[in-house]
Amino acid sequence: MRLDVGPFAFGAAGIGNLYEAVSEEDAASAVEAALAAGVRYFDTAPHYGLGLSERRLGAAIAGVPRADLVLSTKVGRLLVSTGTERRDDEGFDVVSGLRRVWDFSRDGVLRSLEASMARLGTDRIDVVFVHDPDEHYAAALDGALPALSALRDQGVIGRFGVGMNQSRMLTRFVEHSDLDTVLLAGRYTLLDQSGMDDLLPVCRRRGVSVVAAGVFNSGILATEQPGDHYDYRVADPSVVSLANRLAAVCALHGVTLPQAAVWFPLLHPAVTTVCLGARSAREVIRNAGLFDHPVPDSLWQDLIAAGLLRADAPMGAAR
């Protein structure tokens, strides 16, 4: 079933203290700003801040009619008590008595979902993604995905899929299971269209919806003047140069680099929404504004002509 949630989705890793701490007030105001901007799809995960993102998101949406929201969370990293608080070492600025344990079994899925629903304050999850099973393909295919399929068929969850930073393994999951949607991070962007080579054509044929995440490629495309981080590390000078060339062509059309970055994935018929993270109301308002003005078709054609965008990239009407 196609995931119809609008072009702009809220990614809640930031309010789980990704890289740096976010106050309770800023986290709540970010979600409130997203709701005010018309966002109805919110994506989170136990991994994000060792449950902090889910708890904060749940608190912020507590007064919103559940039917007005689409919530997704993830399974694969089960949170278990250590009995001792320590600072997280996986990119989140939190101190917690919980740790992550990889678990793609049926029991692990059920335990993870039960805990996620408690943190979110809801009795159902609309979309459940198997989270980053890069080193656990067989366990996810044989354990987590059949468990989620059964839960979907029982009406316990709405849809299920897999979320990853690569397209090759996602393609295998689409080909060998009956999932509904995938979350593809960083592999269908202005700088990396590799998802076109395998995943996106298969998703279109099988009617699998694609949530495009990581469209700023870790920040290099997030600002009018390109940043210096690409794919979670300091960008190679050649990548920065390419981003600067993209920005220059965008400017000729009165378009900013981040504006083009969010509109480009939506041109592909398999992509249903773009998921953007934010940690404050200001960031949400800025992100929402990127969707206010469609990008002229002439920009895409000029990027192709300049060799900055693949000539076979779909140029259909963005949603």
Hey, how many other C-beta atoms are within 10 angstroms of the C-beta on 133?
Answer: 25
Q: How far apart are CA 3 and CA 12, in angstroms?
A: 19
**Is the Cα torsion angle 153, 156, 160, 162 positive or negative in sign?**
negative
Taking residue 292's Cβ as centre, other Cβ atoms within 10 Å add up to 8
* Encoded amino acid at 217, one letter: N
Tokens of 50: 């060792």
Q: Does residue 48 have an active-site annotation?
A: yes
* Sequence-separated (6 or more) residues with CB below 8 Å from residue 94: 16, 17, 21, 49, 50, 52, 87, 88
Question: Active site residue: 48, 188, 230, 232, which one?
Answer: 48
CA distances from 277 to 17, 115, 159, 307 (A): 12, 23, 22, 29
What phi and psi values does residue 230 have, to the nearest 5 degrees?
Answer: -140, 125
Of 205, 203, 212, which Cα lies nearest the Cα of 266?
212
Q: Return the active site residues.
A: 48
